[in-house]
Structure 1
Amino acid sequence: MKITYLIFLFSFTLSAQVTDELYPQQVGDIEFDQKLDDQNFKICDVKQTAQYYNFSKGFQYKGEKYEILKKFKENYNPKIVTTGGGSGYITIRFLINCEGKTGLFRVQEMDMNYMPTKFDEDNIKQLLAITKSLDGWLIGEYDGKKYDYYQYLTFKLNNYKLLEILP
């Protein structure tokens, strides 16, 4: 009986260690990738990352969404490509750390039917560069504690012309 218990305890401990190594802390966590991410970007608390909507202030940017729209209107100059259409959604998801700095940018591309697609790389690079340049992100704070949090911007495009930025 003791041997069976010890074997069970050992296998449970081993599986718990493997699970911690294989899966992120939360569904949707962005794992650091040294090919894509800035080595100097600091994640303040790996175990407690919030989502932008967890804060009562709403949109977490100085000047709110109006300022973001303004920056994209001033800086996005779409390259119109005759092949491929360029209509659909490009989502850029990233992390804002407890210092208000951004990193871990990831891009997802979908057509108007929400199916994976590929957009022109120059237009994606432009949207990503403007997103990375946004420097008015507020620090996520709740009950006096500062948090890292995920944010995303989804760009609705029609022939690469920017129709809307979500959320």
Structure 2
Amino acid sequence: MIRAVCFFALFSFVLMSCQTEKSMSKYPLTVGDIEFDEKLDDPAFKRCTTEKLVNLQYYQGSKEFDYKGEKIAIIEKLEKEKISSETKTNGYITVRFLVNCEGKTGLFRVQQMNAELKETVLDKELGDRLLRFTKSLDGWIPKEIKGFKVGYYQYLTYKIENGKVSEVLP
């Protein structure tokens, strides 16, 4: 009888520890990591991480804008595209993505907010056009830490006034 109770207690402990490990592993390594989604993401895009080196978040490290030609190059390209909406909507469209250690981008996510910063869909077509524009930007520069190129998260927030992009943040 004692043997059965000990066996049951040991079995329960092992079972619970396996369950705990499974539930912990579903969380990202770093808060804000974008998980791969086969419906949205290119399977050919490669992260540049190891267990000891993770992708930098935009709030970590330098405050530099790591794009060839700086932010002004992005603004100039955006002006040439003449992206706008027929609806005279106001708000913000943010495109967040990962730049890998080769300067290639992937794992794009879009969030739209109204002028009061409440999540909503301002204009789906405008959001899609700004996403395509952001994906077309190919001048991202990999960051380096102690001689190693690392991936990092980047975002572009497009301020929309009367259906037109009035500002690019950050």
TM-score normalised by length of structure 1: 0.86
* Structure 2 residue runs without a partner (length 5+): 1-5
Query: Does 2:81 align with 1:78?
Result: no
Report the Cα offset of residue 46 of structure 1: 5.8
Aligned residue for 1:152, secondary structure, equals strand
**Match for residue 121 of structure 1 among 124, 135, 139:** 124
Q: CA RMSD in A?
A: 2.2
Paired with 1:41 and 1:4, the residues of 2 have a C-alpha distance of: 47
Q: Which of the two has higher C-alpha Rg? A: 2
CA distance 1:161–1:46, shift in 2 (3 Å):
farther
Do the aligned residues in 1 keep the contact of 2:83 with 2:130 (CA within 8 Å)? no
Distance in 1 (alpha carbons) for counterparts of 2:82 and 2:9:
64
Within 2, Cα distance between the matches of 1:107 and 1:41? 18
Residues 1:58 and 2:64 are matched in the alignment: yes
Q: Classify the secondary structure of the residue corresponding to 1:10.
A: helix
Runs of 4+, deviation exceeding 6 Å? 2-5
**Counterpart among 105, 108, 111 of residue 105 in structure 1:** 108
Structure 1 residues 135 and 28: CA distance shift in structure 2, 3 A: same
From 96, 99, 108, the equivalent of 1:96 is: 99
1:1-167 to structure 2, matched below 5 A, reads: 10=14, 13-45=17-49, 47=51, 48-56=54-62, 58-81=64-87, 85-167=88-170
Q: Per-residue deviation at 1:56?
A: 3.0
Structure 1, unaligned stretches of length 5 or more?
none
Aligned-residue offset at 1:6? 5.3
